[in-house]
Structure 1
Amino acid sequence: MGRLVYTGIGSLDGFVADESGDFDWSAPDEEVHAHLNARDSRVVAELYGRRLYDVMHVWQTYGTGPDATDVERQYGEQWRGRPKRVWSRSLAAVTTPLTTLHRDFDATQVRALVERADGDVSIGGPDLAAQALRAGLVAAVEYYACPVVVGGGTPWLPSGLRLTLRLVEQHRFGNGVVHLSYDISPTTSVR
């Protein structure tokens, strides 16, 4: 049986994009990227909201060129090899192999997908993750806190959500990023 894990990279004040939609300040350096690759080696499927899929689908070709770094090449191979599901009401079609488009979030369907998985299922995109968090489907949250405060924008976690967390891992990187990994207590009552 798998588990659903919500991972984000964002500012210290909890935003994955600033008020203008920019997130360049969160681009991982070589050390952070290598850590992400190692962590993602446990991922067997990815669930995306439309905006995150729009960002991530570049990995279909990115990291394949002769100037790609080893961590870019490794992540690209991982990304291209995993099945992906995208939830969007506005996207006409998906453009990458191993990718399925869904219109409406169905918690029962997602729960069944995760239960059948033989590893972690990653969920990304704050709007999609909010639906899964509120449905009680997410087993763990991981956050890469960048050493920047942006003051507003797209929050990593939805407002009004209350979870009881247990810290299972922490790691500090040379560039000031801190990775925090928490299991969500099964006794959490989501509101």
Structure 2
Amino acid sequence: MGRLLCTGLTSLDGYIADERGDFSWGEPDVAVHAFVNELERSVGTYLYGRRMFEVMRYWETAHERPDRPAVERDYTSLWQAADKIVFSTTLDDAGTKRTRLERRFDADAVRDLVRSSTRDVSIAGPGLAAHAFRAALVDEVRLFLHPVVVGGGTRFLPDGVRLSLELAEERRFDNGVVFLRYRVR
């Protein structure tokens, strides 16, 4: 049985993007990216909201850019090998391989997917992830806290949800990023 993982590259004050939608401050350096790659090796399926998918769709063709660093080429391979489910009422076609569209979030269907999976399932996009948090589906929360305060924007974690967490792992990187992995109790 897989686990449902929710990972975020966040500011210290809990945002994945600032009020203008900028998230460039969260771009991982080589060490953080390599660590992310190792974490992502267990993922067999990505669940995305439309906006997050539009950001991640970059990885569908990233291999066509030979100037990319090895760590990015590695992530490209991981992303392309995984299945993707995009939850959107506006997209007509995802335009990427191994991707299907769903019009609405069905907590029971996601629960069944995770239970029947031999690999982990990752959920990304704060709006979509909020549904999973509210349905008590998330097994782990993974945070990459960046040494920046942005003061507002798109929050990683939803309001109105209370979770009891157990710290399972922590790591500090030379660039000041701190990784925290929590199991949901």
Match in the other structure for 1:54: 54
Measured against aligned partners, the alpha-carbon deviations of 1:11-42 in whole angstroms (never above 9, x if no partner) come to 00000000011101100010000000000011
Measured against aligned partners, the alpha-carbon deviations of 1:69-124 in whole angstroms (never above 9, x if no partner) come to 11011000000010000001111210101000001100011011101111210000
Match in the other structure for 1:111: 111
1:127 aligned onto 2:119: no
1:66 match: secondary structure: coil
Match in the other structure for 1:92: 92
Task: Give matches, 1:171-182, under 5 Å.
Answer: 171-182=171-182
CA RMSD of the aligned region, Å? 0.7
Match in the other structure for 1:19: 19
Measured against aligned partners, the alpha-carbon deviations of 1:32-82 in whole angstroms (never above 9, x if no partner) come to 000000000111111000010000001011144321211011000000010
Match in the other structure for 1:80: 80
Check conservation: 1:64, 1:76, Cα contact below 8 A. Answer: no
Check conservation: 1:9, 1:146, Cα contact below 8 A. Answer: yes
Q: In structure 2, how many angstroms separate the alpha carbons of the residues matched to 1:172 and 1:63?
A: 30
2:90 match: secondary structure: coil
Match in the other structure for 2:7: 7
Q: In structure 2, how many angstroms separate the alpha carbons of the residues matched to 1:54 and 1:32?
A: 22
Amino acid at match of 1:104: R
Amino acid at match of 1:114: V
Check conservation: 1:64, 1:73, Cα contact below 8 A. Answer: no
Q: In structure 1, how many angstroms separate the alpha carbons of the residues matched to 2:119 and 2:171?
A: 22
Q: In structure 1, how many angstroms separate the alpha carbons of the residues matched to 2:128 and 2:103?
A: 12
Task: Give matches, 1:19-38, under 5 Å.
Answer: 19-38=19-38
Give the TM-score normalised by the residue count of structure 2. 0.98
Q: In structure 2, how many angstroms separate the alpha carbons of the residues matched to 1:39 and 1:133?
A: 21
Give the TM-score normalised by the residue count of structure 1. 0.95
Q: Number of aligned residue pairs: give it.
A: 185
Check conservation: 1:63, 1:69, Cα contact below 8 A. Answer: no
Match in the other structure for 1:158: 158
Q: Which runs of 5+ in 2 are unaligned?
A: none
Match in the other structure for 2:138: 138
Match in the other structure for 1:188: none
1:65 aligned onto 2:35: no
Check conservation: 1:172, 1:178, Cα contact below 8 A. Answer: yes
Q: Which runs of 5+ in 1 are unaligned?
A: 186-191
Sequence identity of aligned pairs in percent? Answer: 51
